[in-house]
Amino acid sequence: MYKFAHIADCHLGAQKYPELKELELRAFKEALDICMAEEVDFIIIAGDLFHSNLPDMGVVKEAVGKLSQVKEKGIPVYINYGSHDFSPNQTSIIDVITESGLMKKLFNARVVKDEQEREQIQLIFTIDPKTGAKLTGISGRKMGIDNSYYEILDRKSLEAEDGFKIFVYHTSVKNILPEYLIQMGGMDIKRFPRNFDYYAGGHIHKRVCEDKLEGYGVITYSGPLFGGYPRDLEISAKGEKRGFYIIEYDDHINSCADLKFHPLELVKYLYLEFNADHKNSTQMNEEIKKELERRKNQGEIEGRIIVLKVRGELSSGKTSDVNFQEVRKYLKEASALHVSINYHGLISREYTEIRVKGETVEEIEENLLLENLKNIDLPLEELNSTNGKELATRLLKILRQNQKTNEKKGEYNLRILNESLSVLGLEDIIK
């Protein structure tokens, strides 16, 4: 009997609030502590261990310290890049850590030709020395660039391989997404190789397990260890457990029943939702105030993450008349650990503020770019609509980079110029 852990979407370094930073790190450390206590044979991290390719070094230090303890126990950690911690232009912190021997990257491929002389990507298996398990997979890339890998993937060689096999991926698979996530699109499972025992997924911040697709083994998303985006906090506050899987097997995994989910009980939540329909701004303020006072008196605020959501249409008064600053102040004074307020769905008959929706800075930027591109008639197809948004997003990511420590101004300017030209495909023209 063997045992392995499936972890994904730790997003270390994502948080700007100290209290959430601490929870983010605690989640990672507790997960690895459980893995060591359970004496797993190996650990899989299916992408986005870090929130960026070069995260805060303090966060890296904490993560490396815990990974060192895991290595001392003789437990190998296998990892793929996620869409956040990969960079096409720079070395990722994942590269540095794997070079130290604390983790091993799974994505290992070569280009071959098929019978029609078409190029294919052929993945190379990593064999776990203790269990003999054969692991491979494809790393995640931003904006679905990894889709092109799946399009030319040599599936036949992967399917023909015998033994216990695990495929590690970091992308959305539309065939197994819950209803409310279908709109985000995704890849068809047919692009995945068949005949694998376990498919360890990352990228989707929701726990999913599917074992009824013919030709495929158990296909899973473990979900995030903590999940600090406002959307994640809301889902957690509504009762979704966050954690990871530990799987025991002999020579096969039969169904989702073979998986054991380990929830991480790091903090308590309180979810509050208010409907503004048929109420004016004064009534809305009063309703929120009374409910918060009631919850405080019941001891449901202190030490918790409070997620407050207001939506609907005010009958009169501006949306800005609903005093969310006062709400936040009241909750913090009542010793709430963290306060997340969502009023994107609040509008008013009298006045409606124009907003571009998005949970993260990246989403807001992408939506702004897309909306503005719709109003511009550009002669080049590469600059229109989705293509233009993707190009502008990649360029914006490069241009917002800060000067590195000990990097001279001239070196910084040259680096930004070269990376920008590379994204635009102009490096050869300038030369």
Phi, psi of 69 (to 5 degrees): -65, -40
- Residues 340, 332: contact at Cβ < 8 Å? no
Give the whole-angstrom CA distance, residue 272 versus residue 305: 11
Q: Torsion-angle region of residue 359: left (phi > 0), alpha (psi -120 to 50) or beta? A: alpha
Does the annotation count 84 as an active-site position? yes
Tell me, rounded to whole angstroms, the distance of Cα 127 from its chain centroid.
27
Give the whole-angstrom CA distance, residue 385 versus residue 313: 31
| 3-class SS of residue 419 | helix
Give the whole-angstrom CA distance, residue 79 versus residue 245: 15
The residues facing 274 across adjacent strands are: 310
Give the whole-angstrom CA distance, residue 271 versus residue 238: 6
Give the whole-angstrom CA distance, residue 185 versus residue 188: 9
378-379-385-390 Cα dihedral, nearest 10 degrees = -100
Phi, psi of 340 (to 5 degrees): -120, 120
Instruction: Dig out the tokens for 126 from the structure.
Output: 């990593």
Give the whole-angstrom CA distance, residue 270 versus residue 290: 16
Residue count of the chain, please give it: 431
Give the whole-angstrom CA distance, residue 427 versus residue 429: 6
Looking at 51, 84, 170, 203, which residue is catalytic? Answer: 84
Would you please indicate which residues are annotated as catalytic (active-site) residues?
A: 84
